[in-house]
Amino acid sequence: MLDNLDHFKCLKRGTAGAINIDPLQRGGILTPEAREAILEWADGYSVCDYCTGSLEEIQTPPIKEFVREALPQFLEVDEVRISHGAREGIFAAMHALCQGGETVIADGNAHYTTLLAAELAGLKVELVPASEGPGYRVDPGGYQEAISRARGRGERVAMAVLTYPDGNYGNLVDPKAVSEICTDAGLPLAVNGAYSVGRMPVSAKSLGADVIVGSGHKSMASSGPIGIIGATEELATRIFRRSKLVPKKELEMLGCTLRGAGILTMMASFPAVVERTRRWDEEVEKARWFAGEMERLGMDLQGDQPHGHDLMFFKSEILYEISKTAKKGRYFLYRELKKRNIFGIKPGLTRQFKLSSYQLSREELETVLSAFEEIVSNHPKA
Amino acid sequence: MLDNLDHFKCLKRGTAGAINIDPLQRGGILTPEAREAILEWADGYSVCDYCTGSLEEIQTPPIKEFVREALPQFLEVDEVRISHGAREGIFAAMHALCQGGETVIADGNAHYTTLLAAELAGLKVELVPASEGPGYRVDPGGYQEAISRARGRGERVAMAVLTYPDGNYGNLVDPKAVSEICTDAGLPLAVNGAYSVGRMPVSAKSLGADVIVGSGHKSMASSGPIGIIGATEELATRIFRRSKLVPKKELEMLGCTLRGAGILTMMASFPAVVERTRRWDEEVEKARWFAGEMERLGMDLQGDQPHGHDLMFFKSEILYEISKTAKKGRYFLYRELKKRNIFGIKPGLTRQFKLSSYQLSREELETVLSAFEEIVSNHPKA
C-alpha cells in the first residue's frame, strides 16, 4: 500500500504546441512573465515572507499596491480583494449580503456555480429565463418580472446576479439596463465577469455593478484557482467586514485567501492583461470573421448576432450526421482535430460545441477552419 | 493611470540560497518533481483538459486515483476531497455538520481560522483553555468540561475541533482521549492537521478523527493554496452532499476547488511526502537536539517537554535585553540573522519567536545555532 506512487511524479499535460480552442482555457494561458513568477514563488506561503497580518497589506512583494490601487483602478470599483475564484466571490457576496431564506435573481444563462453559491448560502433562486435558440437572449426587462414573481410569492429578494457574458453562448446583456431595474428595486447587482474581466474593458461603475467578480485562471492569465471580488464602498464594508472573534482579520475570506504563487502570476501578467483589454475590438472582429467562416462550412452560431465575444457556441447538423457512421462515432470530431493538433472541444461532442478564438492569430484560426473544412469534406456523409 | 505597471512583472523573492526557519514555510517547499509539475500545469484550468464534470473524477491526469485511493490510504480515512486549504476544510465541515447558533468546542491553542470558520458559519465557540506557560498544555479532559459548560448554558453543541499540533507551540494533545470524550458526548471530532498531515504519520482512524484536514502549502510540499479534507463515510455523505439545484455537483466545495497547478504539485510531491512521514522520528530527534542547544544559549523552549514536533516556540530574555540598546532596536535579531542568510523569524521579534527545524540538515541547524551564539556573545548587553 502506498508503495508504487512514482507515476504521480512526472505527469505531462501532453498538449504542448497544440492550438487550444477551449473557451475555459484561452484567457488563462500564462504570460512569459507569469511563468517566471510561478517558479520564483512556487513554494507554500512564499508570499508571506513579510506578512503583517493580512494578504492585502503585504508590501513585499507589492500585493498591497496591486490590490488596493491597481485593481480598483482597473475595474473602476472602490474596493477589491483576492478570492479563490469567481464562484467563491459570488458566494462571499451572497453570504455577506443576504439572509438565509431570501431570494436572489439570476440570469437563465448563469454559470452553474451561481446556483450552487445561492444554495450553499441557504438562498432561493429566481431565474430570468433566456429566450429560445438560436439567440438564447436574456432580456433586461426579465429582471423586473423575476423580482415581481418572487415578491408576489411573498419572498424577500436580496440581490441580483448578471453573468456578463455567460459562459455558454458568450452573450452580453446590457448591464446598465439591469442595474437600473435593480437600483429601482433596491437590490445590489453582482456582475459575474469570469469571461470579461481581463479580456475586455470592464468598469464596474459604467456597468452599474455594485459587486463584480472575475476569474484569474479563466481570463487574467493567472495560475488558478484565483479570482477577484470588487465592491462599492458601502457593500465592501459588509462583504469585507472584520471578525468579531479575531478583529484584525476579515471574516468572509477566512483571513487570507491566496497564500501562494497564484497572486504573483496575476500580478506578473497584469501589465499584459491591461494592454490586451485595450485591443478587445480586434478580438471581437476576429471572432466575427471566424464565426462567419464557420457558418460558411455549415455550422450555426448561437447567441448574439452580431457576436460580441470570443466565446462561441455552434450547432452543427453536418458533424452530427457524420458522427452517426464515422469510425469512433461521436468521438470522431475530437480525434480528427487532435490528429491536426487542435485541442479544446470536449470529446464526444459533434452536434453542438463551444470554442474560443481569444488571443489566437488569424493564421492559427485559419488552421482551425481548414481542419473543419477538411473534416467535413473528407467524409462521405457530407 | 495604469500606465506604469512594469514593476509587477519580474518580482523576485530574494531569499534564494538562504536557510529558511519559518515554521509556516518549512513543510511547503516544493520537491524538484513539484517544481517541474508547476511549470507543466501552470496555465489556468490546465487540469480540466479531460474533465468529465468533477475535479475528483478526472483520470488524465490521474486526480481520481490520487484523491479516491492514494489519499484515503495515506490518511486512513474513508473519503477525501481537495480544498483550498485547512481553514476552508474546517469551514466546510462546520458549515455542513452544524446549524447556525450551535456551539463548537475547540482547543485554546487553535489557529485563528478555526474561530473565523465558526463565526462565518454562524456558530459559537467554547474554548478548552490551555495551561499557563511554559507548557501551554491542553488537557483532553478540558473537552468534557467545555462541553458541560456550553450544555449547562443550554447551548446545542455540534462538533469539536482539535488542532494537532497547534501552530504556536507545536504541542500534541492526545487525540484518542479527546476523541473518546467526543464520542461519548455524541460529537464528531475534526482534527486540524495543518502541521501534521504530510510531516508526520497521521491516521484518522488511529487518532479517532471523524474529519481531518491538512494543508498542502504548509506541510505537503505543494504550491498553495491547497488542502485536503477527509471524513468517515457517514460524515462524508453530509459534507460532500450533492446540490439539489445542480445534482451532479458537490455543494460544499461549489463544484470543483483546485482547478489549477496546485493539485499537480501535491501529486508530484506525494511519493516524497509519504516517504518523509516515515522518517518523522529523525525529525523529532533533531528538533530535540536543536532545542537543547538553544536552551544552552539561554533561550527557553515553550510547550511540550520533551518536544514532539519541529515547530518550536522560544522565549528569550537575553535577546530582548540586547534589543533595548541594539542599533535597529527590536529589529536587530532579524537583521543579524539576515546578514548570515537565515530567514524566517518575524522582523521585530526578540523576546519570543517561533522557528522550525523541519527538513533542515544538522549542518544547516549548526549554522543557525552558531548565528544565535555569535549574536548573543558579540553583544555587550549579553
Question: Domain locations in chain B?
Answer: 32-276, 279-378
- In terms of Cβ atoms closer than 10 Å to its own Cβ (0-12, 13-18, 19+), residue A298 is middle
Which residues does chain B have within 8 Å of residue A22's beta carbon, measured at their own beta carbons?
45, 49
CB contact under 8 A, A252 and B120: yes
Q: Which residues pair with A157 in a beta bridge?
A: A103
- CATH number assigned to the domain covering B32-276: 3.40.640.10
| CA atoms of B270 and B281, how far apart (whole Å) | 19
CB contact under 8 A, A116 and B251: yes
Alpha helix (H) residue ranges in B121-260: 141-152, 175-185, 204-207, 216-219, 233-239
Please indicate whether the domains covering B32-276 and B279-378 agree at the CATH topology level: no
For residue range B211-223, list pLDDT tens digits in order.
999 999 999 999 9
Q: A15 pLDDT band (50/70/90 cuts)?
A: confident
Question: What does the block give as the cell for B31?
Answer: 520537491
Spell out where chain A has E strands.
19-20, 79-83, 103-107, 124-128, 157-163, 189-192, 211-215, 227-231, 300-301, 311-315, 342-343, 352-356
Which residues does chain B have within 8 Å of residue A36's beta carbon, measured at their own beta carbons?
10
pLDDT at A381: 58
CB contact under 8 A, B43 and A49: no
For residue range A152-186, list pLDDT tens digits in order.
999 999 999 999 999 999 999 999 999 999 999 99
**Contacts made by residues B6-10, CB under 8 angstroms, sequence distance 24+:** B6/A271, B7/A62, B8/A62, B8/A66, B8/A70, B8/A267, B8/A268, B8/A270, B8/A271, B9/A33, B9/A268, B9/A271, B10/A33, B10/A36, B10/A37, B10/A268
CB contact under 8 A, B11 and A40: yes
What residues contact residue B152 under an 8 Å CB cut-off, 6+ apart? Answer: none
State yes or no: ipTM above 0.95: yes
- In terms of Cβ atoms closer than 10 Å to its own Cβ (0-12, 13-18, 19+), residue A327 is exposed
Compute the half-sphere exposure of residue B339: CA atoms within 13 Å on the CB side of its CA.
Answer: 10
Q: Is the pLDDT of residue B6 over 80?
A: yes
What residues contact residue B306 under an 8 Å CB cut-off, 6+ apart? Answer: B288
Q: A116 pLDDT band (50/70/90 cuts)?
A: very high
| Nearest residue in chain B measured CA to CA from A242 | B116
pLDDT at B142: 98
Q: Which CATH class is domain A280-378?
A: alpha beta
CB contact under 8 A, B48 and A41: no
Which residues does chain B have within 8 Å of residue A2's beta carbon, measured at their own beta carbons?
70, 73-74, 274
Instruction: Indicate the residue type of B267.
Output: M
For residue range B96-109, list pLDDT tens digits in order.
999 999 999 999 99
Three-state secondary structure readout of B236-259: HHHHCCECCCCCCCECCCCCCCCC
Q: Is the pLDDT of residue A382 over 80?
A: no
- Give the residue among B293, B294, B291 at the shortest CA–CA distance from B303: B291
Q: Which residues pair with A352 in a beta bridge?
A: A315
CB contact under 8 A, B119 and A259: no
Q: Is the pLDDT of residue A193 over 60?
A: yes
- Nearest CB to B223: which of A36, A120, A261? A261
- Give the residue among A67, A76, A126 at the shortest CA–CA distance from A98: A126
- Nearest CB to B10: which of A36, A45, A85? A36
Q: B15 pLDDT band (50/70/90 cuts)?
A: confident
- Give the residue among B139, B253, B284 at the shortest CA–CA distance from A85: B253
| CA atoms of A240 and A81, how far apart (whole Å) | 8
Q: What does the DSSP assignment read for A302-366? A: -SSSS--SSEEEEE-HHHHHHHHHSTTGGGHHHHHHHHTTEE-SPTT--SEEEEE-TT--HHHHH
* Portion of chain A with pLDDT greater than 90, in percent: 95
Q: Is the pLDDT of residue B303 over 80?
A: yes
| CA atoms of A93 and A240, how far apart (whole Å) | 9
* Average of per-residue pLDDT across A78-103: 98
User: Please, are residues B214 and B220 in contact by the beta-carbon 8 Å criterion?
Assistant: yes
For residue range A217-237, list pLDDT tens digits in order.
999 999 999 999 999 999 999
Q: Is the pLDDT of residue A327 over 90?
A: no
* Average of per-residue pLDDT across B32-50: 95
pLDDT at A17: 87
Kindly give the pairing relationship between strand B227-231 and strand B79-83.
antiparallel
| CA atoms of A154 and A142, how far apart (whole Å) | 19
Binding site residues of B for pyridoxal 5'-phosphate, as ranges? Answer: 86-87, 192, 215-217
For residue range B164-206, list pLDDT tens digits in order.
999 999 999 999 999 999 999 999 999 999 999 999 999 999 9
CB contact under 8 A, A30 and B43: yes
Question: What does the block give as the cell for B37?
Answer: 509539475
User: Please, are residues A252 and A95 in contact by the beta-carbon 8 Å criterion?
Assistant: yes
pLDDT at B17: 87
pLDDT at A379: 84
**Element (DSSP H or E) covering residue B127:** strand B124-128
Question: What does the block give as the cell for B230?
Answer: 477527509
pLDDT at B14: 85
Binding site residues of A for pyridoxal 5'-phosphate, as ranges? Answer: 86-87, 192, 215-217
Please provide the average confidence, as pLDDT, over all residues in chain A.
96
Q: Which residues pair with B20 in a beta bridge?
A: B343
Question: What does the block give as the cell for B288?
Answer: 530535540
| CA atoms of A184 and B58, how far apart (whole Å) | 45
pLDDT at B3: 84
Give SS3 for A8.
helix
Exposure string over B43-70, b if 16+ CB within 10 A, otherwise e: bbbbbbbebeeebbebeebbbbebbbeb
Q: A348 pLDDT band (50/70/90 cuts)?
A: very high
| Nearest residue in chain A measured CA to CA from B45 | A25
| CA atoms of B342 and B344, how far apart (whole Å) | 7
- The topology under which CATH files domain B279-378 is Aspartate Aminotransferase, domain 1 (3.90.1150)
